[in-house]
Amino acid sequence: MNNNIDWKKYLIVLLITAGLFVTAIYLSNYFGNQKIKQLQNIQDQISIDVLSSETQFSLLSELSCKDISDSVFSDELSELGNKLQWSQDNLGNTTEVSYLQKYYSLLEIKDYLLTKQISTRCGVKAAFILYFYTTAQNCSLCQQESLVLSTLRTEYPDLRVYSFDYSTDLSAVTSMLQIYKIKDTALPALVIDDNVLTGFHSVDELDSLIQQSFKLQSTTNTTTTPTTTTKTK
Amino acid sequence: MALIGTTILYIFIFLSVYVQVFFFVTFLENRKKIIIRKGETKLAHYPKVTITVPCWNEEKTVYKTVRSLLDLNYPKDKLTIFLIDDGSTDNTFKVISRFSKYSNIKVFHKENGGKFTALNFGLENSETEFFGCLDADSFADRESLVRIMSYFEKDKEVMAVAPSVTVYNDNNFIQNAQRAEYYMGVYFKKMLDFLGAIDVTPGPLTIFRKKVFNDLGGYRHGHNTEDMEIAYRMQRNNYKIAHCNDAYVYTNTPGSIRKLYRQRVRWIFGFFNNTIDYNDVIFKKDYGNFSVFTLPTRIASVVAIGYLSLRILYNFGNFIYSKYIVYKIVGFSIHPKIVFDPFFINTQSLFFLFIITYFLVFFSMLFGRRMAEGKWALSAGMFYYFPVFSIVSPFWLAKAAYNTVLKRKPSWR
């Protein structure tokens, strides 16, 4: 007869399996926290860099542009943005991740203001796009617009794209939304040279606008700061 | 909705880990009982055995099958071989007729009626205490029978003994992947033996005490899986089935996806329908681990494969759609810059659970190989078994389910 069932073994295996699950969850949390720490470090570094450039700019702007070190953190910011997006998708929208997201938005605004100032005063070639999207609802057009902007960034290394999640609960972002009168019903929205474009815009449509923006800038720079030589990354 | 999907996924992962841990714990408990014998095995007493070879269009392999039986390390006067041509339309009968000169071989020809009818024909004509079958596409190792018989000698309660079935031919990657799967099968069968919960007595050389058939009746159609049906029936009657891990039988495996698909549709269809026929056994503790472990976990694994396949299909569809959108929006000009950054390595708990499960399954293949070939060694098939089978198995599963719902019987080949 072979109808003996060792219930104790079933229970022990259940406990071992539960133990393995707990271990897997612990490891997942551990590595998740490590990633968040890594993000915090990157943000802190960028924050210091932005602050340092701001200070340097304030100190030296009256004299010359050539001594201003690179304030172009676009690559770092973009990398941070990618990592934050990945964290949001894979680690979930935890308190830490949404806090970092807010911090990131703030850094973007600071970088935008500073780089715009430097560009105007020192003639650094740059064009700016402020991009507003939403993650609160399913916005397929936003995803498509992101693709367009990624392609344009590869095409124009001097193009700066600053992305803002409409649902970010941060007064600085809310102010920008108010300044440009952006509503959640008209997303995605883009701001190029103070012109607000809503809905999806293809690569070709934006291409001409970016080129115009670059031209506009070089005209402005020629008239205002003829002696600038600051290099870009 | 996503939460429900994730919860179901975690339940299935939990069950998978549970099953693998259960097997591993069983292994740790019984590892010292797993004996792999070298050289010739001797018995105190050699009982009479009849081995039936049912043949249906097996002209290419049956000769070698019979030769392997003639070469068995078992006294010739104790071994009777029945070669039964089940209405073949090729030269099978001509090939087997050449063996009629041997005193212990009897050759029969009958109208085609299916494998189970050929086996019952053999049963009716056999007069020995032990009875077995060897599929005409399989070859028995010289020591296989004597080692199987040693299990009967050792334990009077054992009513059937299954051998370790491994792959004879591995000429291509499909057969290599099956080889790895068969190694795993050897390991699982041994563990099920320790649990008293074996659910298939394979056609290649399972030997039964004739009492099994006298008590329970002969073979049944069993939805074209008579070897599963008889095992289910034995379990329902609490007849002990053992696995002789060092009795090796080599079988020809399908060499193409199409042939493998047909074989697996038949197997899974047999599993579905035999399980439906014997559903009264499930979760009845009177039937031991077979009812509370083997059948429920087999059912759960089929449901899990079905669910995971749909999930993978959905994700794959999403992936293709997203690529199509990328193409529509920006063409092919996606920046090719790929920089490795460990940050992007997925460290979700699912990732670690997959690693644990994969490790345990991989161990089962390795130890299965150790039992089948006596050596610890990796093989390429062990690595691509998962990718190959995870792509193709949902298809035969779906087809077998479809056939079951519409009550369509799959063909043998």
**A interface toward B at CB cutoff 8 Å?**
1-5, 9-10, 12-14, 16-17, 20-21, 23-25, 27-28, 31-32, 35, 38, 83, 86, 90, 143-144, 147-148, 150-151, 154, 202-203
Do the Cβ atoms of A24 and B352 come within 8 Å? yes
Write out pLDDT tens, residues B256-285: 999 999 999 999 999 999 999 999 999 999
- Contact residues, chain A, for B334 at CB < 8 Å: 151
Q: How far is CA A54 from the centre of its chain?
A: 19
**Distance separating alpha carbons of residues B91 and B163, to the nearest angstrom:** 29
Asked whether the beta carbons of B210 and B218 are under 8 A apart, the reply is no
Is B349 within 8 Å of A24 when comparing Cβ atoms?
yes
DSSP, collapsed to helix, strand or coil, labels residue A4 as: coil
Beta-carbon pairs below 8 A across chains A and B:
95
* Residue-averaged pLDDT of chain B: 92
B contact test, residue of A1, A2, A39, A154 with most B CBs within 10 A:
A2
In angstroms, rounded to a whole number, what is the distance separating the alpha carbons of residues A106 and A110?
6
Ranges of chain B whose pLDDT falls below 70: 1, 332-339, 410-413
Cβ of A16 within 8 Å of Cβ of B21? The answer is yes
Name the β-bridge partners of B108.
B84
**Residue A75 host element (H or E):** helix A74-90
Q: What are the chain A neighbours of B329 within 8 Å (beta carbons)? A: 144, 147-148, 151, 202-203
CB-based contact B343 A83, cutoff 8 Å: yes
DSSP element (H, E) containing A87:
helix A74-90
What stretch of H or E contains A164? Answer: strand A159-165
Backbone φ and ψ for B168, nearest 5 degrees, come out as -85, -45
- pLDDT for res B335: 54
Closest among B194, B240, B242 to B31, alpha carbons compared: B194
Q: What pLDDT, on a 0 to 100 scale, did the predictor assign at position A228?
A: 32
Instruction: Please state the domain extents for chain B.
Output: 1-33+139-335+343-413, 49-136
d(CA B285, CA A2): 11
Is CATH 3.40.50.2000 the classification given to domain B49-136?
Answer: no
**φ and ψ at residue A112, rounded to 5 degrees:** -60, -50
* Spatial distance between the Cα atoms of B75 and B72, rounded to a whole number of angstroms: 8
Per the CB < 8 A criterion, the answer to whether A191 and A130 are in contact is yes
- The string of pLDDT tens digits covering residues B18-76 is 999 999 999 999 999 999 998 999 999 999 999 999 999 999 999 999 999 999 999 99
- ipTM > 0.85 (yes/no): yes
Separation of alpha carbons B243 and B26, rounded Å: 15
Q: Which residues from chain A sit within 8 angstroms of residue B18, using beta carbons?
A: 13-14, 17
Segments in chain A below pLDDT 50 = 1, 222-233
Q: What is the CA radius of gyration of chain A?
A: 24
Q: What is the pLDDT of residue B254?
A: 93
Burial class (CB in 10 A: 0-12, 13-18, 19+), B320: exposed
CB contacts of A86 in chain B (<8 Å) are: 343-344
* Sign of the dihedral defined by the CA atoms of residues B169, B174, B178, B180, in that order: positive
- C-alpha span between B240 and A2 (Å, rounded): 6
Encode burial over A125-164: b for 16+ CB neighbours within 10 A, e otherwise.
ebbbbbbbbbbeeebeebebbbbbbbbbbeebebbbbbbb
* Structure confidence at residue B127 (pLDDT): 94
Dig out the tokens for A63 from the structure. Answer: 């004299």
User: Whole-angstrom Cα distance, residue B212 to residue B230?
Assistant: 9
B87 class by beta-carbon count within 10 Å (0-12 exposed, 13-18 middle, 19+ buried)? middle
What is d(CA B47, CA B149) in angstroms, rounded to the nearest whole number?
8
| Predicted pLDDT of residue A231 | 33
Tell me which residue in B157, B289, B330 faces A147 most closely, judged by beta carbons.
Answer: B330
Q: Any idea where the domains of chain A sit in the sequence?
A: 11-58+71-124, 126-223
**Which of A12, A31, A32 lies closest to B25 in CB terms?**
A12
Distance CA B238, CA B290 (A): 10
CATH class of this structure's domain A126-223: alpha beta
Nearest C-alpha neighbor of A113 from the set A167, A165, A176, A155: A176
Exposed, middle or buried, B348 (CB in 10 Å: 0-12/13-18/19+)? middle
Distance from CA of A153 to the nearest CA of B (A): 10
For A202, which residue in chain B has the nearest alpha carbon?
A: B329
Nearest residue in chain A measured CA to CA from B292: A5
**Cβ atoms A63, A223 nearer than 8 A:** no
Tokens of B114: 């299916």
Q: Is the dihedral of CA A170, A176, A180, A186 positive or negative?
A: negative
Residues 6+ away with beta carbon under 8 Å from B280: none
Chain B neighbors of A42, CB-CB under 8 A: none
Quote the distance between the C-alpha of residue A156 and its chain's center.
Answer: 17
Give CA separation, B154 vs B129, B157, B248, in Å.
Answer: 16, 9, 19
Q: What is the pLDDT of residue A232?
A: 31
Look up residue A112 and give its amino acid.
Y
